[in-house]
Structure 1
Amino acid sequence: MVSLFGRFAASPHNSKIMRAIASEFDADWYLSHYSDVADAGVDPLAHYVRYGAREGRNPRPDFDGTSYLIINPDVRDAGMNPFYHWVLYGRAEGRVISHDQGIAGGSSGEMPALEFSGLLTPLDCLASSQLRRLDLSALPDKLMGRGFPYGMVPGPVSFPLVLFRDGPGEVPADRIQQALALTTGAVHVLSRNAGRRRGKGRDRLRHWSLTGDAALADLKAVLKGLDSEFVGLWDAAFSPAISAWHFLEAALRQDPVLAHAGASLVRRDGRLWRSGFRERAGEAGLAALGRDAHFLDPYQFRLKPSAMLDPCFGLARVAALRDAAAHVGRRDGPRMTEAILRLAAPLARFGQPVFAAQGCALALSEDEPYQPLKPAKADDGVLPNDPGPVEAVVFVDSVPPMPDQDAGSVTASNFVDIFLERGAEVVFYSTAQRNWNNPYALALAARGVVCLTDPVVRNYTQACEHIAAAGYERLSFLLTRIYAGGELVEQTRARFPQARLIFNTVDLHGLRELREARIAGSPAREFSAQATFARERDIIQRCDATILLSEAEMTELSPTLGHANLHLIPMVNEFSPPKARYSQRRGLMFIGGFAHYPNVDAVEYILDELWAPIRARDPDMVLQIVGPHFPDRLRDRLPEGVEALGFVPDLGAALEKVRLTLAPLRYGAGIKGKIGTSLAHGVPCVATSLAAEGMGLQAGRDILVADTPEAFAEAVISLHGDEMRWTRMSRAGYDFCEARYSRRVVAAKLNALLDGVPA
C-alpha cells in the first residue's frame, strides 16, 4: 500500500497551512498527547505541519488524519495535509473526520456498521465513569481470526462473590451495590465493622465480621458454607469489569484442571504484573497501574501460568480452596490477602495450576496504588507454576490488520494466529493508529495480542521501554513495510541488539513505485522510486531475515542480496470450495481496496480500454467492482453494465454469483491478493502478466493472461462462455492455491523462519 502520508510535498507552503489551521489546532492536547514533542520544546503547530501529519499524528482528539485519508482517497491522492483539507473544504462538504465516525455513520455505505455497547467489555467498570462501554462480541467474525476465546457471553454472573477490604475501614457501600449488580448469586462481605445493610438485593447479602487477626479462619468459615462450584475473591480497593468475571468463569469451565484464575501475573523473578487502569482522584485521565512499569494490556484475553494465586481479584474452585485450606496451619494474620496467599502452596502441591488472565481490567478506586505482597512459595522453596521461558514477536505495522478490507490484512491476521499458536506473546505496535478503541485493535486484543495503544504508550520509544521491561527471553521484531516498521529498524537494533529483526516487505514498494513512475512518464517520480528501492535494500541488509511474497521479487533481489537471508513466504488465503455451478453464475468482478492506488489505475484501465471491446462481444455482460473507498470521480463515470458495490461484508457469498474476476493491473509488486482470493473460492481469473507474476501460476491451466485490450477481452469472453473450460480452470486454480497459499503451508514456512534466524 502506498504510504498515506508520503505525498505531502505537493501541499502548499507550511506557513500558509499554519495560518489556516491555527484556530482549530489544539496545541495543549498535542503536547500532552505527544510527550516527545513537549520534551523537545518545539512549537506544536509547526511540528504538526512539518512532521506530525506525515507521521500519522493528530491535531486534536476528535480528528484522525489516517482515517480521513483512507475515507477520502481524493485528499490522499492530492497530497494534502488532511486537517488542512478538512478546515478549508471537508467540514463544509460534511466529510467525516475519523474512522470511528465513519463506522458509526456508515460513510458512503462502504464501512461495516459496527456497534459497541453492552456488558461484555474489558472496560465496563460500573464504578468508573471514565471507562467507555464497548461490546467486543459485536465485532464481526472475520476480525477475530481463529475466533473469540472461550465463547464469552454478556450478562451478570451467577457465582457468589467474597468482597473484602484488606485494610482499615469498611467495604464501601457503592462497591457492595456494584457486586450485587455483577452477580445474581450471594455477596459475602468481610468487614471489621460488619452490620446489616438495607437496600436493593439485601436478601443476597451476607456480612461477616472479621475478628482480630483471624482472617484465615474467617475465610475458611465462608468457604465452608458455600454450595457453588466457583467463588469470586474481590478486594474492594479494585473495581473489576463484568467481562473480567465472565472471562475467568469461561476459562475455568474450559480447562477443568485450573484451580484459580486471576488478573495478576507473577513472574518467576517475583515481579507482579497487574492488568488494568488506575483512576487518579480528581483527574480526568487514566494511568497504567503496575509496579516498576510492568503492565498487562487490559484489552487482551489470554491465560498465562502464574507463580501465585492473585490475592486481590480472581475466581477459584470452591472445592480446591477447601482442600487447600484443610492443609494450611492455624497461623492467622490481619490481612485477607495473606490468608488467600497461604492457599497457593497447597494448590501447587496438589498439581492444580494457578493462572493469570490478561484482559481482566481493574480500576483502582483509591488514590494510592496497591503494594503487592511477595509471592507464596511451596514447601521446597520453589515458586509454584514457574511460567518458564517467554518468547515474544513484536509486530510493527502502520495500522492494525483489517481483514474485512484487504487481502494483505488477511495474511497479517493469520500471521498473528500462527505466532499465538506457537506459544509466543504477540505484541502489536501501530505507527499511525494507536487509539485504544479502534475496532481492529480491539479485535487483536480479544485474540490475545498485547496492543501497545494510547494511553499506555505515546510513541515507539515508550513502546520499546515496555517491551524491554517485560524481560522476554527470546524476542523477534516483524518490521512491516518500508514506511512503517522499516522506518524503525535502526532504533530497534540500537535498543535491542540481541533481538531478531525480520523485515516484512508486504511487497517491494520501490519496485511498485518505479513501475508507476514509468507508466506516468515522470522522471522525478522515477528518481524518488529509485531512492525508495535503495532504502529497502538497506533495510534488508540491516535485518536478520526478509520476507518476500513472490518469486519475481526473489529473482529481482537474489543477484545482489542473495546473502541477506531472503525467505519466500506468500500471502495466506481463506479457502472456500465453490458451491454454485457454472450455470448459476454470470458476470465479472473486480476486487480491490481503493486506498491502494494500483487498483484505482486498474479500474481506470478497464473503463478506458477494456470495457468497450468486452461489451462489443457480449452486450449483456456485467461487471461488479467490489472494495472499500471507491473514488467518487470514478463512480460518476461508470458506463452501462458496470456497478461499484463498495464494501461487501461477505465477499465469499458475492464470489458465488460470478463466473470470472479481472486483474488488469498495470503496475505493482508482490503477489496479488485479488487473484489468490478469487482462485481460493474456485473463481477463475483473467489477468495481465504483471498481475500474475511471481505466483507460479501456469497460463492456460490455472489462469488466463492477456496484456492488450483486444486479447484481454477475447480471453474474458471465451472463458465466460465455455462451461467445460471454466470447470477445469476452477478446479486447477483452487488446487494450485491450496498447495501454495494455504494457512498450513505458510505456517510451516513462518515457523521455520522464526526458529532458524540467528540471534
Structure 2
Amino acid sequence: MQHITQVLVIGYVWPEPASSAAGYRMLALLKTFRRKGWQVTFASPAEKSIHRADLPALGITEINIALNCSSFDNFICELQPDVVMFDRFMMEEQFGWRVEKHCPQAIRLLDTEDLSCLRHARHQACKQDDRVNLSVAPELLFSEHAKREVAAILRSDMTLMISGAEIELLTEQFKVDRSLLLDCPFMQAKVPPEQQQQLPSYHERQHFIVIGNFRHAPNWDAVLWLKQTIWPLIRQRLPEAELHIYGAYPPPKATQLHNPKQGFMIKGWAEDVDQVMQQARINLAPLRFGAGLKGKLVDALACGTPSVTTSVGAEGMGGEYPWPQPVTDAPDAFAERAVQLYSDSELWLTAQTSGFELHNRRFDFEHHADKLIESLEELKSRLDSHRLANFTGAMLRHHSMKSTQYMAQWIEAKNRK
C-alpha cells in the first residue's frame, strides 16, 4: 500500500481568508498540500474565530491543542506526520522540541508570513521620527524579537519566506544560509483576459478604498495618517470623492472616525473583498511601516484597481519585476499621485493593464504550488545531509530547545497543583 504523506500544520490562529492576507495565504498553502493528495491536519491552541475558514469542507482535520501540555505528545505520536509546518516562530518555540523528540524524521517547516522582527523594528523607527521607514538602524533590527525569530528559522529544516527582500535581509544581515529559505509569495489563480474585460470600467467605478485588518498595527497607522494628513489634501482637489475603509475587527476608536461630511467612511467588515475592491476606482495603501508582501495590493491587482502606496508597501511586491503603479512616501506627493490617477482615465487604464500583467506573472498559484511541493520532496530525499550541513541549527536545538522544554514542563507541573 502506498504511503500517504501526513502534514500537520500548527497554527498561531485559525485561518481567516476574508480577514487578513495571512489567512488567505495559509489557505493557499493548505490547498497546495491537499491537491497533492496529502492528508492535512490543522491544529491550534487559539480559540476558534467566527470568520475562520471551513477547513473540514476542504478535507482538512481540525484539532484543538494546548500549550505547555504533554497531551500534544500523545497526539503527535499517534499522528506521526511526515511534515510539520509551524505558523510563525512562536509555534516553533512552543512545539518544535516536542516534534523533534517524538517525530525526529518529520520535516520541520516554518512559515513566517512576514518577518515580524523587521515589522516591529520599523514600527519603533516610525514612533521615533513619524515617517515612512524602509531601512532601520541595527540597534532596532537586532532585537530580542529578532534573536527569537532567526533562531527558529535556523532550527527549522526550511522556512517559507513571502518576500525576496526579506530573504536578502536574512542572508546579508543575519547570515542565514540561503539553503534554509524558500521564496513563497502569495499564490492566486491567474486573471485571464476575458475576466479582465468583465470587470467594471474606469467610468463605472468611483471613490477610493482602503482595506486591512484593524488589529494589524500598520493598517491602523495608515488609517490615522490618512485621516490626519493625506485625505484632507485629496478631498480639497476632489470634494465629491469618498474614502471607504474596510477591515475586520474595527475597534470603537476606528468607528468614531466615521465622518460622512468629510467623505471619510468607516465601513468595517467586508464579506466579499473582491466585490468592494472592484467597485472602487483607486486603492490607497499609505503604509509607514510593515514587512512581508501586502495582500491588499495583490487583491487590487487581481481586481483591476490601481493603487498608490509607499516604499514600504511596494517592497518586494514585484519580485524580479518592477512595481508598475505609483509609489511615494511624502504625504503631499501621495495625495497628488492619488488625484492624478483618479482623474486621468488613460493613466488609470495603463496602471490597470500593467497590474494584471504583474499579477499573472508574479503570483501564479500553479507555479508556486508546484515549486513548494518539489522543494519538500527534494528536501525529504536528503534530509539527513541537509541537517548535518546546518550545524548552527543543531546547536540551537541542543541549547535553546532544552530550555524551552524545561520551562514547558515546569509550567505543566505547576498547572497540575
TM-score (normalizing by structure 1): 0.46
- 1:430 paired to 2:44: yes
Alignment of 1:27-106 (within 5 A): none
Distance 1:606 1:677 in 2: 20
Indicate the SS of the match to 1:521.
helix
CA deviation string 1:521-562 (max 9, x = no partner): 39xxx7697111111111111111111111110110112113
Evaluate the alpha carbon distance shift between residue 502 and residue 596 of structure 1 in structure 2; reply closer, same or farther with a 3 A threshold.
same
Displacement of 1:697 in angstroms is: 6.6
Aligned Cα RMSD in Å? 2.5
| C-alpha spacing 1:534/1:644, structure 2 compared with 1 (3 Å) | same
**C-alpha distance in structure 2 between counterparts of 1:464 and 1:448, whole Å:** 24
Q: Does the CA-based 8 Å contact 1:482-1:536 persist in structure 2? A: yes
Contact 1:544–1:564 (CA<8 Å) still a contact in 2? no
Change in CA separation of 1:699 and 1:675 when aligned onto 2, cut-off 3 Å: same
Report the equivalent of 2:171.
558
Is the Cα contact below 8 Å between 1:546 and 1:564 reproduced in 2? no
1:108-147 alignment, distance < 5 Å: none
Question: Would you say the 8 A contact 1:505–1:547 is kept in 2?
Answer: yes
CA–CA separation in structure 2 for the residues paired with 1:442 and 1:519: 34
The corresponding residue for 1:409 is 23
Please give the secondary structure, in 2, of the residue aligned with 1:452: strand
Match of 1:756 in 2: 378
Question: Contact 1:479–1:504 (CA<8 Å) still a contact in 2?
Answer: yes
Overall identity of the aligned pairs, in %? 28
Query: Matched residues in 1 for 2:269 and 2:161: separation?
Result: 28
- Could you say if the C-alpha distance between residues 697 and 447 of structure 1 is closer, same or farther in structure 2, counting changes exceeding 3 Å? closer
Give the 3 Å change call, closer, same or farther, for CA 515–581 of structure 1 in structure 2.
same
Aligned counterpart, 2:144: 531
Distance in 2 of aligned mates of 1:446 and 1:459:
30
Equivalences for 1:492-507 in 2 at 5 Å?
492-507=99-114
- 1:462 is aligned to 71
* Residue type of the alignment partner of 2:41: V
Q: Counterparts in 2 of 1:632-711, with a 5 A limit?
A: 632-639=252-259, 640-696=262-318, 702-711=324-333
In the alignment, structure 2 segments of 5+ residues that lack a partner are: 130-138, 384-417
Write the letter of the residue equivalent to 2:273.
L
- Given the alignment, which residue of 174, 183, 186 partners 1:571? 186
8 Å CA contact 2:11–2:87 kept in 1: the answer is: yes
1:590-612 CA distances to partner (integer Å, 9 max, x unpaired)?
01011111100111111111012
486 and 716 in structure 1: CA distance in 2 versus 1, 3 angstrom threshold: farther
Higher helix share: 2
Does the CA contact (< 8 Å) of 1:513 and 1:529 recur in 2?
A: no
Deviation digits for residues 299-319 of structure 1 (CA, Å, limit 9, x no counterpart): xxxxxxxxxxxxxxxxxxxxx
Pairs within 5 Å for 1:216-295: none
For 1:236-268, what per-residue CA distance to the aligned partner results, in whole angstroms no more than 9, with x for missing partners? xxxxxxxxxxxxxxxxxxxxxxxxxxxxxxxxx
Match for 1:624 among 228, 238, 244?
A: 244
Residue type of the partner of 2:168? T
One-letter amino acid of the structure 2 residue matched with residue 445 of structure 1: P
What CA distance in whole angstroms lies between the structure 2 residues aligned with 1:451 and 1:424?
15
SS class of match (1:696): coil
> 2:24 and 2:118 mapped to 1: Cα distance?
23
Aligned residue pair count: 364
Q: Which residue of the other structure, out of 537, 542, 562, is the alignment partner of 2:155?
A: 542
One-letter amino acid of the structure 2 residue matched with residue 617 of structure 1:
R
1:451 to partner: Cα distance: 1.4
Q: In the superposition, relative to structure 1, how do residues 477 and 699 fare at CA in structure 2: closer, same or farther (>3 Å)? A: closer
1:612 aligns with 2:232: yes
1:156 maps to what in 2? Answer: none
Which residue type is aligned with residue 496 of structure 1? Answer: C
Deviations 1:282-332 (A, max 9, x none): xxxxxxxxxxxxxxxxxxxxxxxxxxxxxxxxxxxxxxxxxxxxxxxxxxx
Contact 2:171 2:177 in 1 (8 A): yes
Q: Does residue 515 of the first structure (1) align with residue 129 of the second (2)?
A: no
Alignment of 1:485-496 (within 5 A): 485-496=92-103
Give the structure, 1 or 2, with the largest relative contact order (CA under 8 Å, sep 6 or more): 2
Matched AA of 2:83 = S
- CA-CA distance at 1:575 after TM superposition: 5.6
Q: Does 1:452 align with 2:40?
A: no
> 1:429 aligns to what SS in structure 2?
strand
What stretches of structure 1 of length at least 5 have no aligned partner?
1-385
Q: CA deviation at 1:565?
A: 1.6
Which residue of structure 2 aligns with residue 159 of structure 1?
Answer: none
Is residue 2:93 matched to residue 1:482? Answer: no
Q: CA deviation at 1:467?
A: 2.8
- Quickly say closer, same or farther: Cα 1:485–1:571, change in 2 above 3 A: farther
What does residue 176 of structure 1 align with?
Answer: none
Q: 2:201 — aligned with what?
A: 581
Q: TM-score normalized by structure 2?
A: 0.81
Residue 683 of structure 1 and its aligned partner are, at CA, apart by 0.7
Check conservation: 1:410, 1:573, Cα contact below 8 A.
no
Match of 2:386 in 1: none
Residue equivalent to 1:394: 8
Q: Give the aligned residue type for 2:223.
A: V
Query: In the alignment, is the contact (CA less than 8 A) between 2:324 and 2:354 conserved in 1?
Result: yes
- 1:506–1:549 contact (8 Å) kept in structure 2: yes
Deviation at 1:660, TM superposition (A): 0.8
Give 1:649 shift. 1.1
Distance 1:537 1:458 in 2: 22
Task: Decide whether aligned partners of structure 1 residues 730 and 563 sit closer, same or farther in structure 2, where only a CA change above 3 A counts.
Answer: closer
d(CA) in 2 for partners of 1:718, 1:540: 43
Could you tell me how far 1:743 is from its partner in structure 2? 1.6
State the secondary structure of the residue aligned to 1:711.
helix
**Contact 1:540–1:564 (CA<8 Å) still a contact in 2?**
no
Q: Contact 2:246–2:269 (CA<8 Å) still a contact in 1?
A: yes
Name the CA distance, whole Å, in 2 between partners of 1:701 and 1:483.
32
